[in-house]
Amino acid sequence: MNFLRLNDYLLTILFQDSEIIALDKPYGLTSHTNDSKVGNEDFIHEGLIEIYEKQLGQRLYIVHRLDQTTTGVIIFAKTPEAAKKYAAFFFDRKVKKTYLFITAKKSIKTEFNIDQPIIHKGKELTAQTDFSLIKKTSTFQLWQARPLTGRNHQIRIHAQAGDISILGDAKYGGDAFAFLCLHNRRIEFPNGIVIESQPPMYFEDLNLIENFMLVKILFDIDRRQRLFGQFSASKECFRLVHQKSDERNTGVTLDQLGENWVLYSYHNNLSESDQKTFQQLSKIFNKPLLIRFRPEGKSVVGHPVAPVLPSAGAALQNSWMAEENKIKYELRMDAGQSFGLFVDQRLQRYWVLKNSSDKKVLNLFSYTGGFSLAAALGKAKEVTSVDTNKNVLAWSKKNFELNQLDLSHYKFLCRDSLEFLEQNIKKNSTFDLIICDPPAFSRGEKAIFKIETHLEKLLKGCLLCLSAEGTLLFSTHFEGFFIDDIRRTIEKLKIDLKLKHLQISLIQSGLDFELIGKKTILKSFMITKKQEEEPLALVTQCTTDLLTEED
């Protein structure tokens, strides 16, 4: 099985010229692949440089590094010559670097210098850092650090030596906190290039750190703002906060859905303190904030638990328009727990947009037609949307109309997806691209669908309806499955159906969801037939099995 990262149209660049590229590094991503882990992991964890190499389609070169837990300016070179040139600037100490950090220590000093060697890999290296106090509250202080040398963990070690250990830096004497509070604010090169990164909001207002839930939410939002830049102020749709309920997180998720923000709470109720926190969040960003409950991960049908929270007197309409990569969607408040778009599939929809030209596309369990829209706008030859709910099919048509698409050119079928596959197998009808994102459970007119019961039957039907070099995008949120459960089912079908050249790839989560190496909720696969085969030659022996399996 391969591991696939899809290109992300939202990723932004802080600065670039013909020689270098500067990124606004978010918390939680390494600068590059940690080669020491190769052979000890299920797969190699990509660093920021590998992600952007794939995104840009060009080789990049390390100039300097930031730790996984440090945010701010990071530089990569576009050529070996540029890498050598800029690395020499650092080596010759011609680069002026400015960092900011927060400490919970109470220092009476306002500025000082630490000139203390650092031991690295058994060698004693000279190291020197200037420190100056920027601001303080009764609880926290914000300091500026200017390292005059460039040693591993230099600022953290020297901050400890100066009795101002960084907040969240347990390794070097810092007070316990959910994350390390260290930011690379500015880099100035001797050739006149100056690159700056805005510090996190809680660096600007230290009082925000007093509210743990609020600062954790702001911390998550900060990561998306560094990755997506100006898009965080647009009508785009993506996840801003992804903190499902556990002992380490706040138990909320937050989506930007166009001009509005939607917060899901996974607690049984909201305390008065939580409500005040969410009101403060709404005011900070001047965004209408809609709150809905999903206590203990269970879906709750009905209207919002809390009204739209105040933000400059804005009132949320029952429906509004949002965009995803310039594709327009109508979102609605009165359609159950979902508003009409699942943002964890945005990269898969973008892939469909870029890979549908002149193809026959089938979208099963099509819901409001996001994948169908992407295929149609991607110039697919034929697009068929299948769902048992006539209301969401009507919603799909509305989305097509919003994007100036002629409905007469596309098929919207109120049908059971399994039955539709069976009928197409009988007719020897195939599709070049099939998208299948089934619910965990649904009740149709004739039968009940359960993904844990029907997984193999569903995948078999999709593979039999796939053209000789076709691709299946299959996804599920069902938490009863591990990734390997689905992989083994696909591998079994590969043998049963004699598909010798089936390529199976696990699609990695977008960077607005789980960080690299973390357990994902969405299990998403791209399954491709890699050379011409005759899938329907097997129909005679497989159709009976497909139609007679017990539900």
pLDDT above 60 for 169: yes
pLDDT classification of 358: cutoffs 50, 70, 90: very high
What residues does CATH 3.40.50.150 cover in the chain? 342-548
Confidence check: pLDDT of 231 > 90: no
pLDDT for residue 330 is more than 60: yes
Kindly state the tokens that stand for 228: 């997506």
- At residue 386, φ and ψ (nearest 5 deg) are -125, 125
Mean pLDDT, residues 329-347: 91
3 state SS of 522: coil
Is pLDDT at 372 greater than 50 in this prediction? Answer: yes
What CATH number does domain 232-322 carry, 2.60.120, 3.30.750, 1.25.40, 3.40.50? Answer: 3.30.750
Q: Which residue has the tokens 């001047």?
A: 286
Kind and range of the H or E element at 90? helix 80-91
Given phi > 0 = left and psi -120 to 50 = alpha, else beta, which region is 518?
Answer: beta
Give 375-424 pLDDT, tens digit per residue: 999 999 999 999 999 999 999 999 999 999 999 999 999 999 999 999 99
**Higher-confidence residue: 315 or 203?**
203
Q: Which CATH architecture has domain 342-548?
A: 3-Layer(aba) Sandwich (3.40)
CA distance 147 to 86: 17
As a dihedral over the C-alpha atoms of residue 347, residue 479, residue 365, residue 428, rounded to 10 degrees, the angle is 100
Residue 228 pLDDT > 90, yes or no? yes
Across the range 344-350, mean pLDDT stands at: 98
More confident residue, 366 or 310: 366
Work out whether strand 431-436 and strand 360-364 pair parallel, antiparallel, or are unpaired: parallel
- Is the per-residue pLDDT at 499 higher than 90? yes
Token pair of 380 as six digits: 């697919």
pLDDT number for residue 57: 96
Round to whole Å and give the CA distance between 241 and 291: 13
Region 494-522: mean pLDDT is 92
pLDDT of 192 higher than 50: yes
pLDDT at 223 over 50: yes
pLDDT in tens, 439-490: 998 887 778 899 999 999 999 999 999 999 999 999 999 999 999 999 999 9
pLDDT value at residue 350: 98
Enumerate the β-bridge partners of residue 195: 187
The superfamily in CATH containing domain 94-210 is Pseudouridine synthase (3.30.2350.10)
pLDDT-based confidence at residue 308 (cuts at 50, 70, 90): very low
Q: What is the mean pLDDT of residues 178-185?
A: 98
Report residue 32's pLDDT band, with 50, 70 and 90 as the boundaries: very high
| Distance spanning both ends of the chain, measured CA to CA | 29
pLDDT at position 538: 42
In terms of DSSP bridges, do strands 360-364 and 382-387 run parallel, antiparallel, or are they unpaired?
A: parallel
Share of the chain above pLDDT 70, in %: 89
The residue length of the chain stands at 551
Nearest one of 316, 270, 264 to 291, comparing CA atoms: 264
Confidence tier at 334 by pLDDT (50, 70, 90): confident
pLDDT of 525-546, one tens digit each? 999 998 654 444 444 344 334 4
Burial class (CB in 10 A: 0-12, 13-18, 19+), 75: buried
Whether 41 shows a pLDDT value over 70: the answer reads no
- Give residue 544's identity as a one-letter amino acid code: T
pTM above threshold 0.95: no
The per-residue pLDDT for 549 is 38
What per-residue confidence (pLDDT) applies to 295? 62
> Which are the contacts of 153, defined by CB distance < 8 A and separation ≥ 6?
67, 118, 172
| Location of each CATH 3.30.2350.10 domain in the chain | 1-92, 94-210
Domain 1-92 has CATH 1.25.60.10: no
Count of CB atoms situated within 10 Å of the CB of 84: 12
Model confidence at 296, pLDDT cuts 50, 70, 90, reads low
* pLDDT greater than 60 at residue 35: no
Mean pLDDT of 163-189: 99
The per-residue pLDDT for 254 is 95
pLDDT band (50, 70, 90) for residue 213: very high
Most confident of 232-246, 269-283, 425-439: 425-439
C-alpha–C-alpha distance, residues 354 and 263, integer Å: 31
Lowest mean pLDDT among 63-67, 110-114, 229-233: 229-233
Residue 80 banded pLDDT, cuts 50, 70, 90 = very high
Alpha helices, DSSP H, located in 176-271: 201-204, 212-228
Q: How large is the average pLDDT for residues 277-294?
A: 87
Dig out the tokens for 227 from the structure. 């990755």
Q: Does residue 501 contact residue 529 with C-beta atoms inside 8 Å?
A: yes
